[in-house]
Homo-oligomer: A and B are copies of this chain.
Amino acid sequence: MASRKTAEEMGKEQKEISISEFFEKNKHLLGFDNPTKALLMCVKEAVDNSLDACEESGILPDITVKVRQLKDDSFRITIQDNGPGIVKDQITRVFGKLLYGSKFHKLKQGRGQQGIGISACVLYSQLTTGNSTKIWSKTESDKKTHYYEIQLNTKKNEPEILKEETQDSSFDHGIKIELDVAGRYRKWVEDFLRQTSISNPFAKIVYTGPDGTKTTFPRTANELPKLAKEMRPHPYGVEFGILQRMAGATSSRSLASFITNDFSSVGATTAKEICKIAKVDENKKPSDLTRDDIEKVLNAITKMKIQRPPTDCLSPVGKDDLEKSLKKEFPGAEFISVRSRDPDVYRGFPFMIEVAVVYGGDIKNDSGELIRFANKVPLLYQAGACATAESVKETDWKRYGLQQANNSLPTGPIVILIHMCSVWVPFVSESKEAIAPYPDIVKEMKLALQDIGRELSRYLSGKRRAGEAKRRVLLFERYSTEVAEALAILSGKNKAELEKKLKSYIGDRVKITEEGEIEGIEGAKEKAPQDEKPKAKKKEEDVEE
């Protein structure tokens, strides 16, 4: 039996744990909890970084992804971009040190947030295969390409350089990375890239899978989206400790100017008003604020009506571009419609929802599909925990002419797409697989879905009307001869003539029904369901007269 310990003995065992050791042991927190997912994560992290870098430096992304099988349970992943590259003295740390990045301390929309992703892949690679990661980087100003073979020293959380050299440039500028990882291959890699190209229509992605087949996801937009601006924190949702720290660090000389300069959406008058309500001298030096002052200011802020944060810090896909890429992706679809909501705020963070619905045509799968994005990155796991799924399930699709079992997706040949972009996406876990269902966020999604739902229902009922009209016509044609005969007997008129008349008469009706059909499909967009009833009635009269 193990022996009991004294405080002194226990004290000797206290040790510091490096963040790398922590995530190595808890790799499931980063999404490396099974071989299939792990392989996908490596592709995802590299592609996310490439897209972020290209967007930031104004380059239309050209990305090639290769997955090659090494053994039955290990793969070599090679990803190359035409981005700005990374300056020499940063390369190894960007890839070989966890929690090292440029985005964490900023409020700015980006795919990456924490500076963990790609280094975690390097860590996973060495953990599962023992191989080091190969990196090529060239900036425009570099004469040659910098080549590194690195591993991650988990004890120190620092990169370990195994090989370093400069090579003649095989490319103008950009990054190339090669990772060997234990994994299992599924077509999800391709799904991920396909969805990525939907939400990043300005990117060209060429993918070569383990079987050697090459798939190209072409560009459907030839301009980069407007670049998201960095924003200052919004007063709403700022916490005591943060305000305290900001007050200590600010260069502003007075409380009033501190509130105006260091936060977004606060004008001088509002700032002064806050000080007044808080009963704290607006000229007080921020660093002199007592705990009590800070508390008063915080309370005052909650009492103030402060305008929403700026929205130029958001970079949505855009209605037109999204529609274009969906048309490319679903060429035969009967119905494609996109909504993008006005920006809204949760906990002081601006966010924006884009939603699209694709229906019919070449969508063979009848079970309904949901495609989810956060800051233009496809989300492939934990749908059940995601605000997107919640909003779709809570929407009553029966009202829009679709079938839907309790608390589930609508069924039918339908694909629903939801994109949330924000300066800070509230992911439920560090593996960034699902968006936390904050009420404000779910509400925005539902409003967009309901709006499209109404349009879809108009389309579907139009289709139904057209169908009915057609059936009526066929009916008349089938019996026209008999009717003509009967009329001939009754009226004593020439049968052939009557039949001709009848046929032409039906011909007119056909035109009407054709219109009805056109109206049912095209016109539906303009007309609300309610004003369909009377119209339908009228047509009936036409036919029966």
Contact = CB atoms under 8 A, between A and B. Distances in A.
A381 interface: no
B28 A130 contact: no
Contacts of A130: 240-241, 244, 291, 294-295
Interface in A70-105: 84-87, 89-90, 93-94, 97, 99-102, 104-105
A18 interface: yes
B100 A14 contact: yes
A177 to B, nearest CB: 16
Interface string A51-84: 0010011100000000000000000000000001
A24 to B, nearest CB: 8
B241 A128 contact: yes
Given A14-B100, A104-B25, A87 B8 contact: yes
A155 to B, nearest CB: 9
A416 to B, nearest CB: 24
A276 to B, nearest CB: 22
A6 B128 contact: no
Interface in A209-258: 226-230, 239-242, 244
A153 to B, nearest CB: 10
Contacts of A57: 4-7, 10
B2 A229 contact: yes
B85 A26 contact: no
A151 to B, nearest CB: 9
A5 B57 CA distance: 5
Contact of A104 (B3, B17, B97, B241): B17
A22 interface: yes
11 contacts: A1-B229, A2-B228, A4-B56, A11-B87, A15-B100, A17-B99, A17-B101, A18-B99, A19-B22, A22-B114, A429-B429
A8 to B, nearest CB: 6
Interface centre among A26, A33, A87, A241 (most CB of B within 10 A): A241
A313 to B, nearest CB: 9
Interface of A: 1-8, 10-11, 13-19, 21-22, 24-26, 28-29, 33, 53, 56-58, 84-87, 89-90, 93-94, 97, 99-102, 104-105, 114-115, 126-131, 139-141, 173, 182, 226-230, 239-242, 244, 291, 294-295, 312, 426, 428-430, 436
Contacts of A228: 2
B4 A115 contact: no
Interface core residue of A14, A16, A101, A104 (most chain B CB under 10 Å): A14
Contacts of A26: 114, 430
A105 B22 CA distance: 10
Given A4-B227, A56-B5, A228-B2, A104 B28 contact: no
A102 B8 CA distance: 12
A131 B84 CA distance: 45
Nearest to A53: B10
A85 B9 CA distance: 11
A422 to B, nearest CB: 14
A238 to B, nearest CB: 11
Contacts of A115: 17
Given A15-B102, A102-B13, A241-B128, A7 B86 contact: yes
Contacts of A291: 130-131
Contacts of A7: 57, 84-87, 139-141, 173
A356 to B, nearest CB: 26
A127 B2 CA distance: 40
Contact of A84 (B10, B90, B141): B10
